[in-house]
C-alpha cells in the first residue's frame, strides 16, 4: 500500500456578493467566506482533499502536528486516522475535517464514489433549502416563495428573537403562507452561542416546550437545537414531550461516543451530525446506523463551505435515510450564494429542482479550481518526505506559489 508522502494546507477566501448575517453569530455581518483546505497525496500520486470553514488564520500553525501524525501512514487505515486525530485533539483542536481526505483516497483506490464504498445506493438525494439568517416575516415569505419556485419542497428557517412571541408568530405565518406547498423546519441555534458581536437569548426548557407546542400546531417538520448542547436531561425531557421532531447534533465534537450517549438517552428524535465537526465520515455513519437501530431520524448537517456539503452528502447517500429525510442545502441569497459557497470548486454543487445528483467519479468528487485557489488562496504549509515548509501568507509571493505548484502537479 502506497503511503502518505505529501501534505499541504491552504487558506483561501472568497467574496460574498452581498452581506451575510449568520443566525448562529448574532450581531455579525460578513462579506467574505473563508476556507482551510488539506491536500494529501500518496507516493504514487493519489490525492485526497478536504476543507473546513475558516474564521481567520487560526489554523496557521497546525501543519507540523498533522505532518508528524500522517506522513508515511497508510491512507486507507481510517481507524488509525481517527486515533491520531484524537491524539492531535489533546493539543486543542479536533481536526475531524481532515478525515474525509483519507476517504477520498481510499475510495479512489477502490474506484468508487465514497457513498458507494460505504454501501450506499441512493444516486440522488432530496434536499431542503436551508436559510442562514434571521429575517422578518415579509422577507421570509419572499425567501420561501423564491425557494419554492426553484423546486424545493422543504425550507428551514431560523428564529431566536428576544421576544418568543416574535419567533412563534414567524413560524405560524410562514407555515400558513406556504401551506400545501412547502414543509417548514426551524433552527433555533440554541445549542451554542457565539456572542462575539452581539448577545442572543438562551432558551430554557419551559420556553423550548412552548415553542415546540407552537411548532406542532403549525405542523412543522422539525425543531432544531432548541436547547443548549450539554443540557442532556432537558433535551431528553423535551424530545419525549414534543409532538414535533426535535433535531440536532452538528457540533458535538466528541463525535460518536457523545452522540451515542445522547441517542440512547433520547436527547433528539433526529440526529444531524456533521463529518467536519462531529467525528469524520466514519463516526457520522456510526450515528446513522445507531439511529436506524433506535428508530430515530438522521440527516447530516452541512452548513459551511461547498466541501462540507459534498462530504456530508456522501454520508446521507450512504446512510439509507435519503428517502426518509431531506438533506441540508446551505443557500441564503443574496449573501450566501452557491457560487460563493463553492468558490474554489470547479463545479458548484447546483441542485436540480431540489435534488442533488451524487458525484459518480471515484472519491468524494471534489474537483478543485486551481486557478481560483491560486488567486484566492495561499499554501501555508507543505510537507514532503523529510522536508517541512511553513509559509506565512505575508511571506508567500507568486514565485513561491508557482514553485509549489510545479513541484506538486
Binding site residues, Mg ion, CB under 5 A: 187, 224
Q: Shortest CA distance to 30 belongs to which of 13, 51, 9? A: 13
Which C-beta is closer to Mg ion: that of 99 or that of 274? 274
Please count the other Cβ atoms lying within 10 Å of the Cβ belonging to residue 51.
28
Minimum distance from CB of 113 to Mg ion (Å)? Answer: 26
Which C-beta is closer to Mg ion: that of 123 or that of 161? 161
Which C-beta is closer to Mg ion: that of 249 or that of 377? 249
- What residue is closest to Mg ion based on CB? 187
Minimum distance from CB of 147 to Mg ion (Å)? Answer: 17
Residue with cell 475535517: 97
Minimum distance from CB of 393 to Mg ion (Å)? Answer: 31
Which C-beta is closer to Mg ion: that of 93 or that of 251? 251
Strands (E) located in 264-340: 270-271, 297-298, 327-330
Minimum distance from CB of 50 to Mg ion (Å)? Answer: 21
Minimum distance from CB of 167 to Mg ion (Å)? Answer: 15
Contacts of 60 (CB under 8 A, 6+ apart): 11, 380, 392
Q: Note whether 160 and 200 are within 8 A (CB).
A: yes
- Read off φ and ψ for residue 108, nearest 5 degrees: -65, -40
Instruction: Give the C-alpha separation, 289 to 24, whole Å.
Output: 29
Which C-beta is closer to Mg ion: that of 24 or that of 49? 24
Which C-beta is closer to Mg ion: that of 274 or that of 342? 274
Contacts of 394 (CB under 8 A, 6+ apart): none
Minimum distance from CB of 246 to Mg ion (Å)? Answer: 12
Q: Shortest CA distance to 325 belongs to which of 185, 215, 226, 213? A: 185
Instruction: Give the C-alpha separation, 277 to 176, whole Å.
Output: 35
Read off the C-alpha cell for 320. 439509507
Amino acid at each position: 500500500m502506497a503511503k502518505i508522502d505529501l501534505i499541504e494546507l491552504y487558506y483561501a477566501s472568497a467574496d460574498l456578493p452581498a452581506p451575510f448575517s449568520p443566525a448562529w453569530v448574532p450581531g455579525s455581518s460578513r462579506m467574505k467566506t473563508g476556507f482551510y483546505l488539506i491536500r494529501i497525496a500518496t507516493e504514487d500520486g493519489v490525492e485526497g482533499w478536504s476543507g473546513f470553514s475558516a474564521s481567520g488564520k487560526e489554523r496557521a500553525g497546525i501543519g507540523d502536528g498533522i505532518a508528524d501524525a500522517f506522513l508515511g501512514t497508510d491512507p486507507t487505515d481510517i481507524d488509525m486516522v481517527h486515533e491520531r486525530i484524537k491524539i492531535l485533539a489533546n493539543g486543542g483542536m479536533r481536526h475531524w475535517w481532515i478525515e474525509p481526505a483519507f476517504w477520498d483516497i481510499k475510495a479512489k483506490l477502490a474506484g468508487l464514489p465514497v457513498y458507494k464504498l460505504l454501501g450506499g445506493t441512493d444516486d440522488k438525494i432530496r434536499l431542503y433549502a436551508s436559510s442562514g439568517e434571521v429575517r422578518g416575516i415579509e422577507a421570509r415569505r419572499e425567501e420561501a416563495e423564491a425557494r419554492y419556485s426553484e423546486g424545493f419542497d422543504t425550507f428551514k428557517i431560523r428564529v431566536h428573537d428576544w421576544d418568543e412571541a416574535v419567533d412563534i408568530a414567524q413560524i405560524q405565518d410562514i407555515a400558513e403562507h406556504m401551506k400545501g406547498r412547502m414543509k417548514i423546519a426551524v433552527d433555533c441555534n440554541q445549542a451554542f452561542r457565539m456572542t462575539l458581536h452581539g448577545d442572543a437569548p438562551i432558551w430554557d426548557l419551559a420556553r423550548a416546550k412552548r415553542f415546540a407546542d407552537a411548532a406542532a400546531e403549525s405542523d412543522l417538520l422539525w425543531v432544531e437545537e432548541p436547547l443548549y448542547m450539554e443540557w442532556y436531561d432537558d433535551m431528553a425531557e423535551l424530545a419525549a414531550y414534543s409532538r414535533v421532531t426535535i433535531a440536532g447534533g452538528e457540533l458535538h465534537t466528541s463525535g460518536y461516543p457523545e452522540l451515542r450517549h445522547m441517542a440512547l438517552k433520547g436527547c433528539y428524535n433526529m440526529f444531524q451530525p456533521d463529518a467536519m465537526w462531529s467525528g469524520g465520515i466514519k463516526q457520522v455513519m456510526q450515528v446513522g446506523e445507531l439511529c436506524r437501530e433506535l428508530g430515530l431520524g438522521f440527516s447530516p448537517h452541512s452548513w459551511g463551505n461547498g466541501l462540507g456539503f459534498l462530504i456530508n452528502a456522501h454520508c446521507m447517500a450512504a446512510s439509507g435515510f435519503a428517502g426518509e429525510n431531506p438533506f441540508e442545502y446551505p443557500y441564503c441569497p443574496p449573501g450566501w450564494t452557491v457560487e460563493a459557497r463553492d468558490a474554489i470548486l470547479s463545479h458548484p454543487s447546483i441542485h436540480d429542482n431540489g435534488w442533488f445528483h451524487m458525484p459518480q467519479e471515484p472519491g468524494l468528487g471534489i474537483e478543485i479550481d486551481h486557478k481560483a485557489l491560486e488567486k484566492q488562496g495561499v499554501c501555508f504549509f507543505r510537507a514532503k518526505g523529510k522536508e517541512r515548509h511553513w509559509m506565512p501568507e505575508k511571506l508567500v509571493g507568486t514565485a513561491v506559489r508557482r514553485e509549489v505548484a510545479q513541484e506538486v502537479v
